[in-house]
Structure 1
């Protein structure tokens, strides 16, 4: 029990620091295909969920952190702050599925099985819609793509922490060395040691981890103390019971002592 308790904090490290969201394309599980919902992302992996179903999935995405002035209005000299960068990892399966990417302006990009693996697309928009159609349950598809809202760098507003080493784009610093290409020139993944480089925890993540450790230590110590006292009392009771059973019974005063019946040893008279 103690071993599993100490493993829990290490399992919690990834969710506390992860910025890439995994969007599963299904119309029967989860909130991702609810056309009424819009999801804000730093970056996302849009992929087929892997369960056999037929139908249409609509995923609505929007960029994080628009450059707003004090009066809650968009910067006057900036009509748009985001360019969505789409990097196709695996194309859809032929005769089974196809994908349409639609920008807020109405611009549409179709993706099918003839689309080259690794294809890249750009859409200048703050909101993006991914419409996924599945026509047959099998075969299981490997379709997936990475969607990153690139932020335009401006003199008055820079909402991200990592420069893509261009005159135009930057991304959130947490997306660096996450094993997914988020900058078009791949500079965010070009100098990474994945086995050693782990994103550091934020202040809130450290507080949460400390609280989890404190709870685990408290539970373990309490369990040990309870077991020690309860088991100790139980053992003492059992030992006392055994002592009482093994003690000789006192003979009542005036009573004749009991003697065991002796087997007759008189020899038979053969005469």
Structure 2
């Protein structure tokens, strides 16, 4: 048990409490709006630890919750046929980014994370939903995948520009939720591979990530309860404002 808890024993009770609270909040956000777990986790944990440590912690909660989201909807084969160029370039972009980008430390990494969060929040608050035409999708999808992969390897956040792009494809609600789960699953696996290649995903980090799954799943359950009681539009607006403030803080103080 001491080995299993070694990561949390090393970081101390205060940071352990922060990790548990962060994944509870991140799971709640995902339960309400269907996304946001890695974004909230990287943003909040980035205030107190290196991005590579935060990214290692989110691997299992992100993978499990995204696979759950991916499993339901009935559109998997059609989405794979349509999105495979973007997904392939996302994986490759993350791998290529891991060759020359280092999430392990340095102020620029924290500022890059802050910039990604701020861009994501501002796009959600102010940008209209674009429409991508089929002929544009053929070349734009792979480009979006490559940029998303590089952003993932640099910051651990894989919502920019993948989420706005998927929202612009004209998918219905069930298709969009499943497409997001598919994209996030590929990004999570690619991020895990990159961290393992850099030696930042050992048994201690995996055990710590497994324990963080508990508050994440509890948060998802709470989020589903909350979703029945408040407007998802209002919650999403509050979420984006919070991400903008958090991203701005990391960008300035990183």
What TM-score bracket applies, with the shorter chain setting the length? under 0.3
1 or 2, which has the higher helix percentage?
2
Q: Which has the higher contact order (CA 8 A, sep 6+)?
A: 2
- Which structure is larger by alpha-carbon Rg, 1 or 2? 1
Relative to the length of structure 2, the TM-score reads: 0.23
1 or 2, which has the higher strand percentage?
1
